Structure 1
Amino acid sequence: MIGWAAVLVAAMPGAAAAQQCGWRPAWVSAQMVPGGENRLAPGALTDASLRQVVRLTAGGAKVRVRVSNAFGKEPLTVRAASIARPVRVDGAAVREGSIVPLRFAGRAGGMVPPGADWLSDPLPLRVAAFDDLAVTLHLAGEGGEQTSHPGSRATSWLVKGDATRTAAPTGTTPTEHWFNLSGIEVEACQPARTIVVIGDSITDGRGSTTNGNNRWPDLLARRLAADPRTRGTAVLNQGIGGNRVLGDGLGPSAMARLDRDVLALPGITDLILFEGVNDIGQLSRAERPTEADARALVAQLTAAYAQIVARGRARGLRVHGATITPFGASDYYHATLLIEGVRQAVNAWIRAPGHFDGVIDMDRAVADPRRPDRIDPALDTGDGLHPSPAGFERMAAAVPIEAFAAPVAGRRPNP
C-alpha cells in the first residue's frame, strides 16, 4: 500500500520538477599511481595544500567535489578544502572574496578510505560551462601511495600549511600534474547530455598547450556548445597517457577502469571509446611478431571493444567508436606491414555497422592523404604518433555531432 505521505508529496506543486534535478559531472580526471618524475617528493603532501585549476564543461546552481584516494594504501586525511575563482589559469592566485569552504558531512575536513573516492557536501554556487575553478586541498599526507593524474596539461600549486583560505599564497611550487582530485559535479534540473571519452595520451592531450585547454575533447565541447542542437552537452576527458585497452601499463587498462571512470559517473548519456594504439604499438615493439600474434591481437582487441559496448549499453549509454590514428612515422612504434595490417583490421571492425552506436573516423581526419599510414605532417607534433593542436582541431571537427543531438532511447538524459 502506498502511504498517504507519499501521495501528498507527489501531489505537491513543484514535486515533479524537484525530482528532475540530478547530479552530473562537469569535469573529471582519470586517476593512477604516478611513476618516475611524475611523483611528488616523499613528504611533499604532509601538512601541505594543493591548489588545482580545472575548466568545467557544464553548469549548475550547486557543486560538489570528488576527492580520490583510489590508489592509496592508507586513509587520506583532508584537513580543509575550498573552491574559488582563479585570477588566471596559469597562476596560484584566486579572486578576493571568491573563496568558499567545502564541507564533508558537515565538517571542515574528512577522511577518504584507501581505494575510495569521497564527495564533498553540495555547495550552493552557480557555475557555467567553461568556467575555471580552483580547488584547494589541505592534506595531512599522501595516504601511503600517491593518487594522481600525471597528464594534467595544467599547472597546480603546492605550498606547505593550510592555504585553503589564502587568495594569493606565497612560496608555492608549481607542478604540472593533478593529485587526489577526480571530479567536480554540478546539479542540473533540466535534461542534459553528458559525453565521457575514455582514451590514451591522444585524448589526454599530449601535444596540446599547457594551460591552453585545447585537447580535442576541449575543442569538441566548444563545438557542441556553439550548435543549438547540442548546446549544454558536457564532455568529460578520461584519457590516460600510455593507456591500453587490454593490459595495465601507465594506469589501469580501459577494461579495468571502465566501472570507476565511466559507468559509476552520474548522468552519463554517451561514451566515446578511443583506445588501442598502445596495444598495437606494444606488439610492434615485440621481438619478431608473427601473423598469428597479429590475428590474436585483432581478435582480443575487438572482443574487448564488444565487451565495453555491451556494458555501456546495459547502463543505457550510446557507445561511439573512434578509429585508431596512424603512426607510420613514429620511431617508438614500428608500423611494419604486419602492424599496419592490425590497425587497418581493427579500424575496419570499428567502422562496420552494428558494432558501435556511432563511428568517429579519427584515422581519416588526421591521416596524410599521400601516405595514409602516417599523420599529415601539418597535424603532427613531430613524433609521428601524437597530433598537434591543429590536429586536435581537425579531430574535434570530425565528430558527427548530429549523433549526440537525438535523445537517448529508453532513458532520460539526466536521471
Structure 2
Amino acid sequence: MIPINRRVLALAAAFALTVNVAADAREAGRWIGSWASAQQVPEERNALPANALDDATLRQIVRLTAGGNRLRVRISNAFGTTPLRVMATHVARPLSAAGAAIDPATDRAVTFAGEAGITIPAGAEYLSDPVSYRAVALSDLAVTIHVEKTPAVQTSHPGARATSYIVAGDKVAAADLPEAKTVDHWFQLSGVEVEGGKASGAIVLLGDSITDGYGVKANTNQRWPDAFAARLQANRKTRGLGVLNLGIGGNRLLLDGAGPNAAARFNRDVLMQAGVSHVLILEGVNDLGVLTRDQPVGPDQHASLVSEITTAYAQMVQKARARGIKVIGATIMPYGASAYYHPDALNEQDRQAVNAWIRAPGNFDAVVDMDKVMRDPARPERLAPAYDSGDGLHPSMAGYRVMAEAIPLELFAR
C-alpha cells in the first residue's frame, strides 16, 4: 500500500502534468481571426432585393491574412429581426479573386454542432465547428452558404470591394456558378478564424472609409490593411499575426450614420474577435467634418466635440486594456481640401487638438502618426498631393501604401 503522503504527491504531480499538457495544447491550438468585416444594415441602394436569398446560394470571396490547418466560419444575423436559417455551408479555394469558380478538390462542408444546417437567432452570430482546411496566409477563400429565406433586415458589409455571387437553389458544392447574379457587397458573413500556433494573434484595424478601402477597385485587395498584412507576412517575427479590417465607410466615433458608431460597435468588432492582441484606431475625421458640413457652429460646440471624441478614445482604451489588448492610436489625417466637408480654421484647430491628445504619452499604448506621414509639408492642413485621391479626404493608392509602411512592425514582434 502506498503511504498517503506519497499518494498525495503522486496525484499532485499527475495533476500538474495534466494541467501543463492541457495548457500547451490550448496554446498550440490558439484560434485567431484571419478575416473579418464590420456588420451593419445595408443602405437601400446596397441591400439585396426582398426575395434574393429565398432558397438561394450565396458565394463570397474573402482574403485570409493568417494561415492554419483548421478554420472556422462565423455567420451573422446581428441586425436581423427574425431567425436566419442557413441550410448548408461550404468553403473552398477559389480559382480567382474575381470569379465564382472553385477548385473542387479543396471543397469542404462546414457544420454547426455537427449539423449541416443552423438557425441563427435574431441579433446573434454563430461560429462553425472546426474544418480541416489548409488555410494559407494572403490567399483567397470562397465561403458558400445556402439560405432558406431572405432576412427581413439584412446584415451586411456594403464596402466589400469584392464580388459575391447569388444563384437559385442549393449550389454550395458547385465548381462554378456561371449563371450567378453579382453584387460587390458581403452579406451575413462576419469572420473566418484559423488555428494558429504559439506566436499567433490578431490585429484589429478600427476605422472608417479610409480603412475600409474607399477608391479601391473590386477584387484587387489594395486597401492599406491588405498592404499591412503583406508586410507582416514578409517578416519572420510577425507572420503569425492576422489583420482584421473593421472599417466602415462614413463611420463616426460618436453618432450612427453609415453603420453603428464606433463606440457602440467596439465590443463586437474588437473585443469579441478571436485571439486579438492589438487594436489600431483610426477614427474621427467624419465626426470633425460633419459638425460644420451644413452650417457653422459656435466655439462651445467645437470644444464639446473635441472632448467627446477624446472621451470615446479613452473608453475604448480602458476596455481593451482590461482584456490585455494593446491599443494603438493613429492621428487623424488632414482633410483641408475636402469639398464635401469644406473645413475652416476652427475645424483644423479641432483636428490639431484631437491629435495632440492622441500623441500625449499614456493615452494610448503606442501612436502611429498618420497625420505627419500623409500631410503636405507646405500646407499641413491638406494631404500631400501624391497621397490625395483627388477629393482632399481619401488617400490615393500610393497614399494607402505609405500608410501601411508607416506602422512599425516592432509594435507587434514577439
| TM-score normalised by length of structure 1 | 0.94
* CA RMSD, Structure 1 to Structure 2 (Å): 1.8
- The structure 2 residue matched to 1:27, chosen from 35, 58, 66, is 35
Specify the alignment match of 1:262 in structure 2. Answer: 270
The superposition leaves residues 132-157 of structure 1 with CA deviations (integer Å, 9 ceiling, x where unpaired) of: 10000110123321000000011111
The alpha-carbon distance between structure 1 residues 398 and 375, as it changes in their structure 2 partners (threshold 3 A), is same
Q: Match of 1:300, SS? A: helix
Does the aligned pair in 1 maintain the 2:32–2:201 contact within 8 Å?
no
- The structure 1 residue matched to 2:378, chosen from 370, 373, 376, is 370
- The structure 1 residue matched to 2:50, chosen from 27, 37, 42, is 42
The alpha-carbon distance between structure 1 residues 314 and 15, as it changes in their structure 2 partners (threshold 3 A), is closer
2:225 aligned partner, one-letter code:
P
1:89 matches 2:80: no
Structure 2 unaligned residues grouped into runs of 5+: 1-7
- The structure 2 residue matched to 1:399, chosen from 369, 384, 407, is 407
1:320 aligned partner, one-letter code:
I
* Distance of 2:289 and 2:12 partners within structure 1: 58
* Distance of 2:270 and 2:12 partners within structure 1: 33
* Distance of 2:260 and 2:287 partners within structure 1: 13
Q: Match of 1:198, SS? A: strand
Corresponding residue pairs, total: 405
Does the aligned pair in 1 maintain the 2:77–2:120 contact within 8 Å?
yes
| CA-CA distance at 1:18 after TM superposition | 1.2
- The structure 2 residue matched to 1:278, chosen from 263, 282, 286, is 286
Equivalent runs, 1:115-264 vs 2, <5 Å = 115-264=123-272
Structure 1 residue ranges (4+ consecutive) displaced by more than 6 angstroms after TM superposition: 4-7
Specify the alignment match of 1:329 in structure 2. Answer: 337
- The structure 1 residue matched to 2:17, chosen from 4, 11, 21, is 11
Structure 1 unaligned residues grouped into runs of 5+: 408-415
The alpha-carbon distance between structure 1 residues 32 and 39, as it changes in their structure 2 partners (threshold 3 A), is same
* Distance of 1:208 and 1:230 partners within structure 2: 26
Q: Match of 2:265, SS? A: helix
Percent identity for Structure 1 against Structure 2: 52
Does the aligned pair in 1 maintain the 2:66–2:239 contact within 8 Å?
no
1:237 aligned partner, one-letter code:
N
* Distance of 1:6 and 1:250 partners within structure 2: 56
1:216 aligned partner, one-letter code:
W
Specify the alignment match of 1:71 in structure 2. Answer: 79
| TM-score normalised by length of structure 2 | 0.94
Greater Cα offset, 134-143 or 224-233: 224-233
* Distance of 2:12 and 2:191 partners within structure 1: 34
| CA-CA distance at 1:266 after TM superposition | 2.1
1:36 aligned partner, one-letter code:
E
* Distance of 1:36 and 1:371 partners within structure 2: 39
| CA-CA distance at 1:225 after TM superposition | 1.8
| CA-CA distance at 1:15 after TM superposition | 4.1
Q: Match of 1:373, SS? A: strand
Larger radius of gyration: 2
Does the aligned pair in 2 maintain the 1:72–1:142 contact within 8 Å?
no
| CA-CA distance at 1:230 after TM superposition | 2.0
* Distance of 1:187 and 1:355 partners within structure 2: 33
1:239 aligned partner, one-letter code:
G
Specify the alignment match of 1:410 in structure 2. Answer: none
| CA-CA distance at 1:9 after TM superposition | 6.5
* Distance of 1:287 and 1:189 partners within structure 2: 53
